[in-house]
């Protein structure tokens, strides 16, 4: 939580923070998927995840930042980002109820490529054919992953594509609030999600009361850990991007498939087959290559 180092002074430290972030977020995904298999509803899971996230971030940042923590120059942008982030969370946890962790994560890798493809219209950035080619190749890799005969639930695939679109919108909204302190953005995201999910509790909580009372101590710990791992994942991510530019770190983001696959194998014994790995490789190589092209271009 200390002041950030100057950009590019510690690129290896930034990469280490990215890797820590990926393991935390994959742990969040696996924990949420595991807890929902007990019968816990999506609404209650997300409420606990956001509430714990908000409490943890505020308790860490408030002593040093004070009231400045909530000051934003882009209130509408922060509210929009919070809503989109909540939508992405709901969509992805729904995806995880129907798809294995590695395959769901690989579909999410389309999000940054979607941003590159549509940024000329939404962000006024220059048009580059290389971006569209990369997005098209990655989409082809996604089709390999979800090919007929892969055994993947079509509805889960649709929710996965919806999640990728939500993440793409989240990335664009994040750019629009880039003038704010990153911790302020993190707090507002947690605050918006917590408030909206709290408003839904009169509907989502009563059917879950009996189940919540029957959860074991271990199940409660895993449920609460979703907020801890989510907050830590985003905090590590912030620290990474404050120590090196996004274009340098972008290729390393695709290593999350390693942590996602490992968690899926450890918890459920699921490991993608050879053809699925081919599709995942196409998506990752496409994204990493265009990230390097963008870095050289700048």
pLDDT of residue 104: 92
Report the candidate in 24, 94, 40, 57 with the shortest Cα–Cα distance to residue 220.
40
Mean pLDDT of 179-199: 89
pLDDT beyond 60 at 281: yes
Better pLDDT: 46 or 122: 46
The DSSP line for 163-197 is HHHHHHHHHHHHHHTTTS-HHHHHHHHHHHHHHHH
Better pLDDT: 119 or 265: 265
pLDDT in tens, 18-27: 889 999 999 9
Determine the Cα–Cα distance for residues 250 and 61; give it in Å rounded to an integer. 26
Determine the Cα–Cα distance for residues 134 and 290; give it in Å rounded to an integer. 6
Highest mean pLDDT among 148-157, 223-232, 242-251: 223-232
pLDDT of residue 195: 96
pLDDT in tens, 92-104: 999 999 999 999 9
Report the candidate in 203, 213, 167 with the shortest Cα–Cα distance to residue 43.
203
Mean pLDDT of 259-286: 90
pLDDT in tens, 1-14: 444 444 445 677 88
């Amino acid at each position: 939580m200390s002041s950030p180092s100057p950009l590019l002074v510690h690129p290896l430290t930034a990469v280490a923070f990215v890797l820590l972030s990926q393991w935390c977020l994959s742990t969040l995904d696996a924990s949420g998927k595991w807890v929902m298999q007990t019968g816990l509803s999506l609404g209650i899971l997300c409420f606990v995840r956001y509430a714990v996230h908000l409490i943890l971030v505020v308790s860490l940042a408030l002593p040093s930042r004070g009231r400045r923590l909530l000051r934003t120059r882009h209130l509408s942008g922060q509210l929009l980002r919070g809503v989109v982030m909540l939508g992405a969370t709901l969509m992805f946890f729904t995806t995880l109820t129907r798809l294995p962790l590695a395959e769901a994560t690989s579909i999410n890798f389309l999000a940054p490529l979607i941003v590159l493809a549509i940024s000329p219209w939404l962000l006024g950035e220059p048009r580059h054919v290389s971006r569209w080619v990369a997005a098209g190749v990655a989409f082809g890799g996604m089709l390999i992953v979800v090919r007929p005969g892969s055994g993947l639930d079509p509805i889960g695939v649709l929710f996965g594509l919806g999640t990728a679109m939500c993440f793409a919108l989240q990335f664009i909204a994040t750019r629009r609030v880039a003038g704010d302190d990153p911790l302020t953005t993190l707090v507002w995201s947690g605050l918006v999600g917590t408030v909206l999910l709290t408003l839904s509790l009169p509907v989502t909580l009563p059917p879950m009361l009996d189940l919540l009372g029957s959860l074991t101590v271990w199940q409660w710990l895993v449920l609460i850990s979703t907020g801890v791992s989510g907050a830590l994942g985003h905090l590590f991510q912030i620290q990474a991007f404050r120590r090196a530019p996004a274009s340098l770190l972008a290729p390393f983001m695709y290593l999350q498939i390693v942590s996602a696959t490992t968690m899926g194998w450890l918890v459920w014994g699921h490991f993608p087959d050879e053809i699925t790995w081919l599709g995942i490789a196409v998506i990752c190589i496409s994204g990493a290559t265009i990230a390097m092209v963008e870095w050289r271009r700048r």
